[in-house]
A and B are shown apart, each in its own frame.
Chain A
């Protein structure tokens, strides 16, 4: 079955460290997205990519970086510049046609220790 795989499910980061969250999809979707979710809150868009080797900042890109070297993969790096990184991170993908539905991974919970 096709889907999106996020890893790891839980991640702990020390102050000042960079960490990378993995997102892989086998849905043949062109577009991929990263969202941040804080407890009891909605989703905020961090970065998105419509095609390979191209990506755009979302609403809260500061302190994050991404790459899109392969269609299937869209890793997110949380850098030390992100002052409050503890959150639940969700990766999603979609087609680029009128079927805009987002398909989500199961998420990565990042905690700063």
Chain B
């Protein structure tokens, strides 16, 4: 069935380190892909999205490229800050089937 799989956390990095959070998906049809971020005690905020293969979503220094050949949408940032500490969720949307799936979330801890 359709699903999203994220790398398990927590991921702990030092400030200014390079970040990669892996996300792979299984889907029938042609999904849109999303990354959301959740800060402690808050709701989810959309970080970036991509709607078709080879699209690159970017926002606040974060990037993710929709790779159809590897069914992946990995989140990257070149230099993380303490303020990036949060839980990151990968998500998949299938418009034709009115379906939307979230991954299990990856907690990121950035140390000064």
Do the two chains belong together in a single complex?
Answer: yes
A49, B42: Cα distance in complex, Å: 23
B103 & A42 in contact (Cβ 8 Å cutoff): yes
Output the least CB separation between B52 and chain A (Å). Answer: 11
Residues of chain B lying within 8 A (CB to CB) of residue A42: 89, 102-105
A106 & B46 in contact (Cβ 8 Å cutoff): no
B42 & A107 in contact (Cβ 8 Å cutoff): yes
State how many residues of chain B have any CB contact under 8 Å with chain A: 22
Residues of chain A lying within 8 A (CB to CB) of residue B98: 50
Residue of A at shortest CB range from B103?
A: A42
Residues of chain A lying within 8 A (CB to CB) of residue B104: 41-42
B43 & A90 in contact (Cβ 8 Å cutoff): yes
Contact of A101 among B34, B41, B42, B43 (CB under 8 A): B34
Residues of chain B lying within 8 A (CB to CB) of residue A102: 36, 44, 46, 91, 100
B49 & A106 in contact (Cβ 8 Å cutoff): no
Residues of chain A lying within 8 A (CB to CB) of residue B100: 94, 100, 102
A96, B111: Cα distance in complex, Å: 40
Within 8 A of B (CB), among A19-45: 40-43
Output the least CB separation between B3 and chain A (Å). Answer: 11
B41 & A100 in contact (Cβ 8 Å cutoff): no
A42, B45: Cα distance in complex, Å: 14
Task: Determine if B18 is an interface residue (Cβ-Cβ < 8 Å).
Answer: no
Residues of chain A lying within 8 A (CB to CB) of residue B42: 106-107
Interface string of A71-113 (1 = CB under 8 A from B): 0000000000000000000101010011011111111010000
A50, B100: Cα distance in complex, Å: 13
Report which B residues bind A (CB closer than 8 A).
Answer: 32, 34, 36, 41-46, 49, 51, 89, 91, 93, 95, 98, 100, 102-105, 107
Report which A residues bind B (CB closer than 8 A).
Answer: 4, 6, 40-43, 50, 90, 92, 94, 97-98, 100-107, 109
5 closest residue pairs by CB, A with B: A100-B93, A104-B43, A42-B104, A104-B44, A106-B43
Could you pull out 9 A-B pairs where Cβ atoms are within 8 angstroms? A42-B103, A43-B89, A50-B98, A92-B43, A100-B32, A101-B93, A104-B45, A105-B43, A107-B42
